[in-house]
Chain A
Amino acid sequence: MGEPAASATTRVSTFVLMIIFITLALSLTALILAINAFSYGNEVVAGYLLLIGFIGVALSTYVLLQSKRRIKSLKIETPPVTTIIECGKCGFKNVREFNRGDYVFKEVESCQKCNENMMITAIYREVREKEKGFSL
């Protein structure tokens, strides 16, 4: 599920991007004008332009981040799955990544120590997102 399946779904639309960047450009212009107005002593105009500029920058950045977050949230992460192989005779343990065809109680390669056949004793995924604690 890691690879993009539908490009249209996993992209920020060009139209939205265009609107965001136009707003950003206008907001930056307002900020520059605010500095200019301030240097000419027009504090009221500078204040309004500053307000417009900051609101514009904040809004466009927020929308951009939201769009990126939406795309990120589409991806479903598959945590790594671990296979534990153990030797029944000497207890030697081998931990490796899961390979297709592995299953619990499958006999696999022989033990490096005692040459006895080893067995898969566990297959599990390590990472599990911790639930937000709510101690009641």
Chain B
Amino acid sequence: MIGLVNMLPLQVQLLQFLGGDTLSQVLSIVFYVIFIVFLFYGQRIQMYVMLREVEGSLYKLKYMRDGGRKIAIDTIKEIGKPQTDPSGRVDRLLDYFTISPQSLDPAGVVWKLEHILDVRDVRLKDEVKLMAPATDESQTNNLENTLEVAMTLNYIYKVIRHFYLMGKKTLSLYIIMQLQMVLPLIMREAEAFASALKAFAYGQPIGDGAGALVAAKIMHGHEIRKVPKDNVVASVPIEGRTAFVIKAEGPGGNVGKTGDAVKTIIDENEGKIATIIMIDAAMKLEGEEVGEVADGVGAAIGGPGVDQFKIEESILKYKIPINAVAIKEDIGDNVSPMCKEIFDAIDKAIERVKQVILERTKEGDNVIIVGVGNTIGIGQ
């Protein structure tokens, strides 16, 4: 209290200093200073605010990238029983890249792309086998998927960091502004991949596997045989028709070469296929419900386009109609463990497939049903 009493002269001085006219003058000066600062440095201040925002997201991306690396290494150690520490090899794989083929002369580019993708796949599988010798085929596939997610997170982090540092170095408002504008979408994608890490490491079904699950449910209990490449097919009688149900071979993380499988079945039946129905998970638009089922026409398959090209080539040869059933989900659902809404949509999709068969084919016809997607955590 004595100390506070001693502060009294200070208060008197403060009162004098803040007296009527002086206060107005000070406020005017402050106003002019702020006005001039914003006039000349407004853009720079805005840029620093944006840079700070990007920096925050970059921290988050770094956290996700490090988390991805850690989960990949832990999973390899846990199920792969490696002789040596796999950290170095994982670090090297995180920077692994694929160069897409030259398309100046676009004729035949699909086959070149397919070859490059095959080489990449074989190389990744070999790396996984070297790091985790104790894994079976299904675990190898899951580990490969886990590493791919970690690689994607690493790539996103590095690209954003590159533009952030470049913006900082050049102080170019346009680089920083573009980065800041696109960042919410990139962050959404990165968060989806980060939540996918555990799903892949543990072998849980993911949202992308909705199509594969539809096929698995239809073919379950029927005789199954393998078709190229990494696919299975079962002949299932549906409403008096014969349905050849195709899906990637599970339960390891695998999408298979659907294009090859469809071509094989069409060729086996000498083109006598009444219709093809493809079921796949599709990106929903904002406002649409997760698990909504819609149908249309065309080859419902994502990826680099090789399989879509092959399917379109095959159906064109015999003029086979192609139908598609889509199960709507957002990017977060697509790579994270399958949510209940999507699981519940599986039966609705099966009903829609049966409806298409009844409407578009007649008794005795052959149809092909293709469940597209990553079959991780889904058997047959």
Same complex for A and B? Answer: yes
What is the CB-to-nearest-CB distance from A52 to chain B, in angstroms, rounded to a whole number? 11
B113 adjacent to chain A (CB < 8 Å): no
Residue numbers in B under 8 Å from A40 (CB-CB): 8, 11
Chain B: interface secondary structure? helix
In the complex with contacts A5-B70, A42-B15, A76-B195 CB distance below 8 A: yes
Closest chain B residue to A4 by CB distance?
Answer: B63
Q: Does A101 lie within 8 Å of B203, measured CB to CB?
A: yes
Chain A: interface secondary structure? loop
Q: Does B7 lie within 8 Å of A9, measured CB to CB?
A: no
Q: Does B14 lie within 8 Å of A48, measured CB to CB?
A: yes
B41 adjacent to chain A (CB < 8 Å): no
Q: Does B340 lie within 8 Å of A1, measured CB to CB?
A: no
1/0 per residue, CB under 8 A from B, across A41-84: the answer is 01011001000000000000000000000100110101101000
What is the CB-to-nearest-CB distance from A116 to chain B, in angstroms, rounded to a whole number? 15
B66 adjacent to chain A (CB < 8 Å): yes
In the complex with contacts A42-B11, A48-B18, A136-B287, A10-B63 CB distance below 8 A: yes
Which one of B87-95, B312-320, B372-380 is at the A interface? B372-380
- Partner of A5 from the list B67, B220, B336 (CB cut-off 8 Å) is B67
Q: Does B197 lie within 8 Å of A1, measured CB to CB?
A: yes
A18 adjacent to chain B (CB < 8 Å): no
Q: Does A123 lie within 8 Å of B379, measured CB to CB?
A: no
B356 adjacent to chain A (CB < 8 Å): no
B112 adjacent to chain A (CB < 8 Å): no
In the complex with contacts A32-B4, A78-B198, A103-B251, A124-B11 CB distance below 8 A: no
Residue numbers in A under 8 Å from B333 (CB-CB): 128
* Complex-state Cα separation, A19 to B26, whole angstroms: 26
Number of interface residues of B (CB under 8 A): 50
Q: Does B60 lie within 8 Å of A73, measured CB to CB?
A: yes
* Complex-state Cα separation, A36 to B4, whole angstroms: 7
Q: Does B340 lie within 8 Å of A128, measured CB to CB?
A: yes
- Partner of A36 from the list B7, B195, B379 (CB cut-off 8 Å) is B7
Q: Does A98 lie within 8 Å of B202, measured CB to CB?
A: yes
10 A-B pairs with least C-beta separation: A103-B251, A5-B66, A105-B379, A124-B343, A36-B4, A125-B337, A1-B67, A5-B67, A128-B339, A45-B11
Binding site for A on B (CB under 8 A): 4-5, 7-8, 11-12, 14-15, 18, 56, 59-60, 62-64, 66-67, 69-71, 191, 194-195, 197-199, 202-205, 213, 216, 220, 250-251, 287, 290, 333, 336-343, 377-380
What 14 new A-B contacts, CB under 8 Å, besides A40-B8, A102-B204? A1-B67, A3-B70, A33-B11, A42-B11, A48-B14, A70-B59, A74-B63, A78-B198, A81-B199, A103-B205, A106-B251, A106-B379, A123-B205, A125-B340
> Could you name 8 residue pairs across A and B whose Cβ atoms are closer than 8 Å?
A5-B69, A10-B63, A42-B15, A45-B18, A76-B67, A104-B251, A105-B220, A124-B205
